[in-house]
C-alpha cells in the first residue's frame, strides 16, 4: 500500500513533466529568422524532441522583417528574431506579446551581462518581458598586431593621424554619427542635440579624411585589410570579422574601446498571433542550450549569450543599439560627407 501510494503521488509529477512536450506534438511552429539562426540540423533536433513541425522563413534585412510581421498583423508567424532597437516598433504596434520567463529555463545559463533583463534597453515594458536575448555582436576595434604594438584603447584611434590612410570604417550613417558622439564624450550617442549637429558633421568629415575607405560587407573589409596593409578597422560586424581575418591568416587583436562599443542584440520575440505560445517558448528555451549556442560561435562567428567570449575583458562596456533621433537627417548628412563635400555644403539646406 505504501509503495502504491508513493507511485500515486509521483504520477501527477510525471504528467507535469511529460505533458508540456506531449502537448506540442503535431503542432507547427512558424519561425522568421536571420541566416544561421535556425540551421537545418538544429531544427530537426527540436522537431524530434517535441514532435512538432518547424517552418523557417529567412530574411536579410530589418525592412523585410517589418513587412512580413506587420502584414496581416503578424498572422503568418509565431516567433521571430529581432534586435532591441527594432523591437520597439513591434511593441508599440501591439504585434508581440509578453514572454513567460518562467518557461525559459535556460535563462540561467546566460552570462552575467544578460541576467538583468531590465538593464537592457527595450526588453521590458510595464514590467513585462517582450524578448529573450539570443546573440549579439559588438562593434569594437580590430588592429594589426604587426603595426599597432600597443592595443588601441579609445574610439578616437580612428581619427589618429598616425594611422592616416590605414583605417577602415563602415559605410553607415546611423552608426557613424553615434561613433562621432562617443568620440566626443556624449553620454547618449543615439540622441544628437540640435546644437551638436555641426560639431558631429565636422567630426565625420575629419574621419573621412583619415580613413583609407568605407566598407559595407564583412568579406570586403577582409579583402581590404589584407590587401591594403590596414592598421585599424572599425568592426561593424564585430567578432564575425575577427573570425574571418584570423582564418585569412591575419595577426590581429580585438578590443572594446574605453568609451564602450555599439552593439546589436538579437532577441527572440513571440507574435500576438502565435498559434501555440508554449511551443514558441520551448523553441526559445531550446536555442539557449549548448549545441545551438555553440553553432552561433563556431559556424557564424557570432557571440552567444550563454558562452563567455575569450576576446572580452572584465568590465568591457557594450552600448546596446537604440532608436536614433532622426534617421533621415543622419542619412542625408552622411551622403554629403561621403561624397566629399566641404562642411558648408554638407550643412546647406
Question: How do the domains of the chain map onto residue ranges?
Answer: 2-130+263-312, 138-260+319-347
The per-residue pLDDT for 21 is 58
Whether domain 138-260+319-347 has CATH 3.40.190.10: yes
Q: Report phi then psi at 128, rounded to 5.
A: -105, 140
Strand arrangement, sheet containing 141-144: 213-215, 167-170, 232-234, 141-144, 252-255
CA distance 235 to 249: 17
Cell of 2: 505504501
Same fold flag, 2-130+263-312 and 138-260+319-347 = yes
Could you tell me whether strands 28-33 and 79-83 are parallel, antiparallel, or unpaired per DSSP bridges? parallel
What is the reported pLDDT for 195? Answer: 96
> Cell digits for 33?
529568422
What integer pLDDT is reported at residue 20 of this predicted model?
Answer: 54
2-130+263-312 CATH fold:
D-Maltodextrin-Binding Protein; domain 2 (3.40.190)
Strand-pairing partners, residue 147, are: none
Cβ partners under 8 Å of residue 101, min gap 6: 107, 117, 129, 132
Q: What is the chain's pLDDT, residue by residue, as a tens digit (349 residues)?
A: 333 333 333 333 333 333 355 567 789 999 999 988 999 999 999 999 999 999 999 987 888 999 999 988 899 999 999 999 999 999 999 999 999 999 999 999 999 989 999 999 999 999 999 999 999 989 999 999 999 999 999 999 999 999 999 999 999 999 999 999 999 999 999 999 999 999 999 999 999 999 999 999 889 999 999 999 999 999 998 888 999 999 999 999 999 999 999 999 999 999 999 999 999 999 999 999 999 999 988 888 888 999 887 777 778 899 999 889 998 999 999 999 999 999 999 999 7
Beta bridge partners of 267: 82, 133
Amino acid at each position: 500500500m505504501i509503495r502504491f501510494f508513493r507511485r500515486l503521488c509521483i504520477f501527477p509529477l510525471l504528467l507535469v513533466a511529460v505533458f508540456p512536450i506531449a502537448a506540442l506534438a503535431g503542432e507547427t511552429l512558424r519561425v522568421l529568422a536571420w541566416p544561421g539562426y535556425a540551421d537545418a540540423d538544429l531544427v530537426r533536433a527540436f522537431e524530434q524532441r517535441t514532435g512538432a513541425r518547424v517552418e523557417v522563413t529567412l530574411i536579410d534585412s530589418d525592412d523585410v522583417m517589418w513587412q512580413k510581421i506587420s502584414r496581416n498583423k503578424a498572422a503568418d508567424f509565431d516567433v521571430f528574431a529581432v534586435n532591441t532597437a527594432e523591437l520597439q516598433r513591434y511593441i508599440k504596434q501591439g504585434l508581440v506579446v509578453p514572454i513567460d520567463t518562467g518557461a525559459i529555463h535556460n535563462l540561467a545559463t546566460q552570462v552575467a551581462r544578460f541576467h538583468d533583463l531590465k538593464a537592457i534597453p527595450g526588453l521590458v515594458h510595464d514590467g513585462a518581458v517582450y524578448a529573450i536575448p539570443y546573440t549579439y555582436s559588438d562593434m569594437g576595434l580590430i588592429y594589426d598586431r604587426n603595426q599597432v604594438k600597443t592595443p588601441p584603447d579609445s574610439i578616437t584611434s580612428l581619427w589618429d593621424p598616425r594611422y592616416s590612410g590605414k583605417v577602415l570604417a563602415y559605410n553607415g550613417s546611423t552608426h557613424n554619427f553615434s561613433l562621432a558622439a562617443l568620440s566626443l564624450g556624449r553620454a547618449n550617442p543615439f540622441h544628437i542635440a540640435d546644437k551638436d549637429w555641426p560639431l558631429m558633421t565636422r567630426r565625420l568629415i575629419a574621419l573621412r579624411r583619415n580613413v583609407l575607405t568605407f566598407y559595407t560587407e564583412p568579406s570586403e573589409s577582409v579583402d581590404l585589410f589584407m590587401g591594403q596593409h590596414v592598421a585599424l578597422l572599425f568592426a561593424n560586424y564585430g567578432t564575425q570579422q575577427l573570425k574571418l581575418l584570423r582564418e585569412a591568416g591575419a595577426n590581429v587583436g580585438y578590443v572594446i574601446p574605453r568609451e564602450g562599443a555599439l552593439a546589436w542584440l538579437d532577441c527572440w520575440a513571440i507574435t500576438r498571433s502565435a498559434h501555440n505560445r508554449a511551443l514558441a517558448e520551448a523553441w526559445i528555451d531550446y536555442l539557449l542550450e549548448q549545441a545551438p549556442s555553440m553553432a552561433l560561435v563556431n559556424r557564424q562567428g557570432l557571440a552567444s549569450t550563454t558562452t563567455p567570449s575569450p576576446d572580452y575583458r572584465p568590465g568591457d562596456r557594450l552600448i546596446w543599439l537604440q532608436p536614433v533621433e532622426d534617421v533621415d537627417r543622419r542619412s542625408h548628412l552622411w551622403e554629403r560627407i561621403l561624397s566629399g563635400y566641404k562642411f558648408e555644403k554638407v550643412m546647406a539646406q
